Homo-oligomer: A and B are copies of this chain.
Amino acid sequence: MPDTVDALVPFSPDRPKTRLSDTLDPEERRAFAEAMLSDVLAALGGAGFEPRLLTTEPTGRDVPETVDDRPLTEAVNAALDAHDAGPDSPLAVVMADLALATPRALARLRGTVGASGGDGAVAADGAGAADVAIAPGRGGGTNALLVRHPEFRVDYHGASYLDHLRVARDIGASVREVDSRRLATDIDERADLTEVLLAGDGAARDWLVDAGFGLDAGGGRVSVERLRK
């Protein structure tokens, strides 16, 4: 494993978080998406990754970026084609809306925490050496990947976690599951904002608080409420 690992962060400044449109207006969604991206980039840096944006349009950020306006799956696969991932040249793909991500959680994606990563192994072989590490998201998504196999390609449609297990099996790649609540929590819907307020500690949480959001612990499971706008 090299000292730093390249990490691709797909980002769509032009289509920010449409499933939050019942809660935030377009300008707010864009600002909130930017705040989450800042948190993810900071957490990646803290875990020894070198992040690179894969963005649908230029962002003006002080981070290396590739502009590619194709759909997510095609753009990521083009980057995998170009990278030629292997044990000495892994490539991570980490979603930009993982507002709870911490350096520690992302270090588990790298496999640099604990003797063998400390995670559930899909394949029975040594976890740290797996060809593909996957942090599944709620609803069957793939929130973060670490690819060390040159033939692995992504398919983000539908239950991508199951698809990625299948892809790995087809090419004979071993898989390690990264069992992390923080990496499993992508922020798509209003209910997800609760998680940011409960467990976030970065720019996204600050943005929500500044925008007037707070926790409503009135009944049963905690929810989010907007106290002012």
- Which residues of A line the B interface, CB within 8 A? 102, 104-105, 108, 113-121, 135-136, 138-141, 158-159, 161-162, 179-185, 188, 191, 194-195, 198-199, 215, 217, 221-223
Residues of B within 8 A of A118 (CB): 108, 113-114, 117-119
Counting every copy of the chain, the complex holds 2
The answer to whether B136 and A181 touch across the interface, beta carbons within 8 angstroms, is yes
The answer to whether B114 and A159 touch across the interface, beta carbons within 8 angstroms, is no
The answer to whether A159 and B113 touch across the interface, beta carbons within 8 angstroms, is no
A204 to nearest B CB, angstroms?
17
Beyond the given A114-B117, A184-B184, please list 20 additional residue pairs across the A-B interface where CB-CB is below 8 A: A104-B179, A105-B120, A105-B179, A108-B118, A113-B118, A114-B115, A135-B181, A136-B199, A139-B195, A140-B215, A140-B217, A141-B221, A158-B217, A158-B222, A159-B198, A159-B222, A162-B198, A179-B180, A179-B182, A180-B181
A153 to nearest B CB, angstroms?
19
Closest 8 CB pairs of A and B: A114-B114, A118-B118, A114-B118, A139-B221, A181-B184, A158-B217, A140-B222, A159-B222
